[in-house]
Structure 1
Amino acid sequence: MKLSQLEMLVHLAETGSVQGVAERMHRTQAAVSMALRNLEEDVGFTLFDRSGYRLTLSSRGKQFLRQAREVVKQQQRLQSLAQQLETGAEPQLRITYDHTCAPGVLFPAIQQVQRAFPATELLLSGDSQLRGLRKVREGEAELALCPWLPIFRQYGDFETAGVRAFELLVVCTPNLLASLGKDVLQRHDLLELPMLIPQDQDVGIDLDKIIRMPGQQRIRVNDSITQRELLLAGMGWGIIPGDLVGDAIKRKALQRIDIPGFMTQVNLEVHLVRSAEHIAGPAEELIWRQFS
């Protein structure tokens, strides 16, 4: 019985397919199938139900999976501890942030890391959708900043720390708003203007349901930074995270639109997220303590 076989078993339970395991572990599907068959032979009883379209766990396989998960977690913790004991402070600290979250909230803590651990290289990357959480889960990043929903725990064993509320604002340029020629706006007035709307953000928000607007001209973009630039260019109105347009509103490049009852309340928070399966280094821990 090999550790890699137990990891395949855990990934199979999470992805639901041999293909999913192969993609996660960078193996061929044939190699994964063979390894799982060998594991079944090693344990001496049936782990899988092969009667359906997909490979599923038998009742004894599910019991075996629970202990396999613990073995894999212990190995990951041991590996993380060995790396920390060998190197001391992390040679690199990788932080990913969702495009809907301005990373400036992390800067004071990052400055502390620069002073306390000058040899630690900091790598920041913006990611869309759930890629940041996947990076944390796969060990490709230590910390992620993203809007958080409890359902995200199905993607990995995460620890989270609340950072701030996730606020959505309706905005457009003052000139575009003035073009409507009305002092008091109603919901239907916005139908005269194009709507700029993010697509595939994967933060648990369906903007079409929130605003319930009939079909008007729309421009869909795949990240909020591009959406902000289109708003600043006067290309239309849109719903966007407040952190990304706060400065533009202060300098009056954008104007907030307030229409009573227009938008359903969205109750989300921005969280700092890390894996519960590895031991944090001192640089990571310094940042984590600022929010936990």
Structure 2
Amino acid sequence: MKLNQLEMLVHLAETGSVQGVAERMHRTQAAVSMGLKQLEENTGFELFDRSGYRLTLSARGRQFLRQAREVIRQQQRLQSLVQQLQTGAEPQLRIAYDYTCAPSALFPAMHEVQQQYPATELLLSGDSQLRVLRKVSSGEAELALSPWLPIFRQHGDFETIRVRPFELLVVCAPALLAGRNLKQLQRHDLLELPMLIPQNQDVGIDLDSIIRMPSKQRIRVNDSITQRELLLAGMGWGIIPSDLVGDALQRKALQRIDIPGFINNVNLEVHLVRSAERIAGPAEELIWRSFTATS
């Protein structure tokens, strides 16, 4: 049996479909189906239950999956060690950040990496929802900056450090509040204005549940960056992470709305996240220690 066949099995368990495996591994569905068939033939017993519409794991298949995951973890650790023994420092350090978290928190540590490990190329990429954590889990990124809840550990064996609180603010463009007394603003006053709300945030926050009021008009967008642009354009009011609008509030392009009891408390934090299954390189460790010292 081959390592890539074991990876196919793990991805099948996570995605629930051959198509999902093919998309993750950038292969054709025919190649994935053949690889899974060959793996089953090599084991000598049925890995899959084919009685339903979808291909699912049999009881033996689920037991086999646990060991397959461990083999993949060991291979990742070994590859990480080989790379460090060969080069001394990572040729690349990939850092992912959730769009709801401003990556500027990483810049001082990244500057230190530039000074101490100039041969290490830094790759910084933004993504939405839980994809940054999945990148760390799958080995596509070494570090991630993301809102954090303990339930996220179901997506991988993670080690985390607190960076700062994750704060949500109610804001809108000043023009929308023209002629209104901000100190006397009430919840019902916002019913007259469109509400901008991100959909599918997938960070453990259900904004519909924490906003204790309906809204006659809603504009839903699929990421917080678009939500911010709509807020700046005066298209409505919204609840958005403070990281994304701090500069706009300072230059008064947006106005914060403070209504006591308007939203329920959201107790989240921004964490730096890495895999507990890999051996960290020196550049990664430098960034990690920079947050360890301040946490």
* Shared fold, TM over 0.5: yes
Instruction: Give the residue type in structure 2 aligned to 1:285.
Output: E
Q: CA RMSD in A?
A: 2.1
Shift of 1:183: 3.9
Q: Which residue of 2 aligns with 1:101?
A: 101
Q: Which residue of 1 aligns with 2:17?
A: 17
Deviation digits for residues 18-51 of structure 1, max 9, x if unmatched?
A: 2222222222223322322222222222222222
Shift of 1:182: 6.1
Q: Against the structure 1 CA distance between its residues 182 and 259, is the aligned structure 2 distance closer, same or farther, given a 3 Å change threshold? A: closer
User: TM-score, normalised on structure 2?
Assistant: 0.90
**Greater CA drift, 199-208 or 245-254:** 245-254
Any unmatched runs of 5+ in structure 1?
A: none
Q: Which residue of 1 aligns with 2:232?
A: 232
**Greater CA drift, 236-245 or 195-204:** 195-204
Any unmatched runs of 5+ in structure 2?
A: none
C-alpha distance in structure 1 between counterparts of 2:204 and 2:166, whole Å: 12
- Deviating 4+ runs (over 6 angstroms): none
Instruction: Give the residue type in structure 2 aligned to 1:287.
Output: I
Q: Against the structure 1 CA distance between its residues 109 and 53, is the aligned structure 2 distance closer, same or farther, given a 3 Å change threshold? A: same
Q: Does 1:166 align with 2:147?
A: no
C-alpha distance in structure 1 between counterparts of 2:93 and 2:119, whole Å: 11
Q: Against the structure 1 CA distance between its residues 2 and 233, is the aligned structure 2 distance closer, same or farther, given a 3 Å change threshold? A: closer
Q: Which residue of 2 aligns with 1:273?
A: 273
On the 8 A contact 2:194/2:215 being kept in 1, the answer is no
C-alpha distance in structure 1 between counterparts of 2:245 and 2:39, whole Å: 54
Instruction: Give the residue type in structure 1 aligned to 2:125.
Output: S
Instruction: Give the residue type in structure 2 aligned to 1:58.
Output: S
SS of alignment partner, residue 123 of structure 1? strand
Aligned-pair identity in percent equals 82
Deviation digits for residues 142-192 of structure 1, max 9, x if unmatched?
A: 211111223323333322222111110111234432333564111111112
C-alpha distance in structure 2 between counterparts of 1:142 and 1:230, whole Å: 33
Aligned residues: 292
On the 8 A contact 2:182/2:257 being kept in 1, the answer is no
User: TM-score, normalised on structure 1?
Assistant: 0.91
**1:41-190 alignment runs, 5 A limit:** 41-181=41-181, 183-190=183-190
C-alpha distance in structure 2 between counterparts of 1:55 and 1:25, whole Å: 18
C-alpha distance in structure 2 between counterparts of 1:256 and 1:17, whole Å: 45
Q: Which residue of 1 aligns with 2:262?
A: 262
**Greater CA drift, 63-72 or 30-39:** 30-39
Shift of 1:74: 0.6
Instruction: Give the residue type in structure 2 aligned to 1:244.
Output: L
C-alpha distance in structure 1 between counterparts of 2:143 and 2:217, whole Å: 38
Instruction: Give the residue type in structure 1 aligned to 2:285.
Output: E
SS of alignment partner, residue 291 of structure 1? helix
